[in-house]
Structure 1
Amino acid sequence: MIQRIQTIWLLLATFALVLMFFLPVATKDIANNETAVYTNGLYQTEVANKATDIKIQTFLPLLITNVVVAIMCFVNIFNFKKRSAQKRVVIFTIIAIGGFAFWCSIFAKRLPGGMEGANFGIGAYFPAIAILFCVLAIIGINKDENLIRSAERLR
């Protein structure tokens, strides 16, 4: 049923992945300029003039991957009638989020001067949080299966 606990966990995983659009994965201060890596590109901000963000490079494949993984989490909410299929999709989503996190780290190395002296932003931790929510969703799906098995035994 759609009001089950796995719906909440999958929705929270979706929100964590959507927040990655708006929060930096890594930042680095270089000679009066702050450079930040987001999932949609590499941005540079002048420290003296915080109002101007200049997009240096676009990361379209990373952006598309972020959108696809977030949509997979959200669409899987409506797959509640087929719990085994829902569980398989969640496992595939966990693997995809792991690959996405690895890919984010590769794109973070595109900071000028490499990763030395760079600070990881809060966006770097959201894939791990989304994986945690997906694991909690699998636990909720398993509890639903056990509940239905016990209800069928009573009949």
Structure 2
Amino acid sequence: MIQRIQSIWLFLATLTLILMLVLPIATKEINGAKSEIYTNGLHQKFEDNNMSSLSVQPFFPLLITNIAVAALAFINIFNFKRRSLQKRIIIFNIAAIGGFAFWCSIYAKKIPGGLDGASFGVGAYLPALAILFCVLAIFGINKDERLIRSAERLR
């Protein structure tokens, strides 16, 4: 149930983290083979005689971490009645997203041929956007706390 603006920011952070499942982090083309890094693994597309085949090296720990960080942001939406707990969970989620982004960069180095000449996809920038949404959610919580304190002062 959307009660406050921070719920919208947390929902946008969740959507951003879910988009990381389908958008590439890095892409590189070597000798007609296109390699892409996603959070679920390394995908390689080979072009030979108009036949394209797909080879996948799975990254299950990275995939599970992506789902867990997105789930944490989504579940935190429902803590709107306990603002201090919600704020602490958001701060933990920001640290987790930062660690997840660092871990994605380590996995991106596993692209064949290294990162030299690779182009970063939209997925490489989404953790920063998710962190921005979490920070905006904290600002919304602080605004609610100030409003409640001023209403109590008027009583």
TM interval, shorter chain, is over 0.9
Q: How has the CA–CA distance of structure 1 residues 117 and 14 changed in structure 2, closer, same or farther, with 3 Å as cutoff? A: same
Distance 2:152 2:104 in 1: 46
SS of equivalent to 2:79: coil
Q: What is the 5 A alignment of 1:1-155?
A: 2-47=2-47, 52=52, 54-155=54-155
**Structure 1 residue 56 displacement after superposition:** 2.5
**Structure 1 residue 154 displacement after superposition:** 1.1
| TM, length-normalised to structure 2 | 0.95
Distance 1:153 1:117 in 2: 60
Greater shift, 75-84 or 41-50, is seen at 41-50
Distance 1:28 1:11 in 2: 32
1:68 counterpart letter in structure 2: A
Contact 1:26 1:38 in 2 (8 A): yes
Q: How has the CA–CA distance of structure 1 residues 49 and 74 changed in structure 2, closer, same or farther, with 3 Å as cutoff? A: farther
Contact 1:41 1:55 in 2 (8 A): no
2:86 counterpart letter in structure 1: Q
Distance 1:65 1:32 in 2: 32
Q: Deviations over 1:111-133 (max 9, x none)?
A: 01111111000000000000000
**Structure 1 residue ranges without an equivalent (≥5):** none
Alignment RMSD? 1.7
| TM, length-normalised to structure 1 | 0.95
**Structure 2 residue ranges without an equivalent (≥5):** none
Distance 1:22 1:79 in 2: 28
Distance 1:62 1:147 in 2: 40
Distance 2:75 2:49 in 1: 41
1:125 counterpart letter in structure 2: Y
Number of positions where the alignment pairs a residue of Structure 1 with one of Structure 2 = 155
Distance 1:105 1:119 in 2: 13
2:28 counterpart letter in structure 1: K
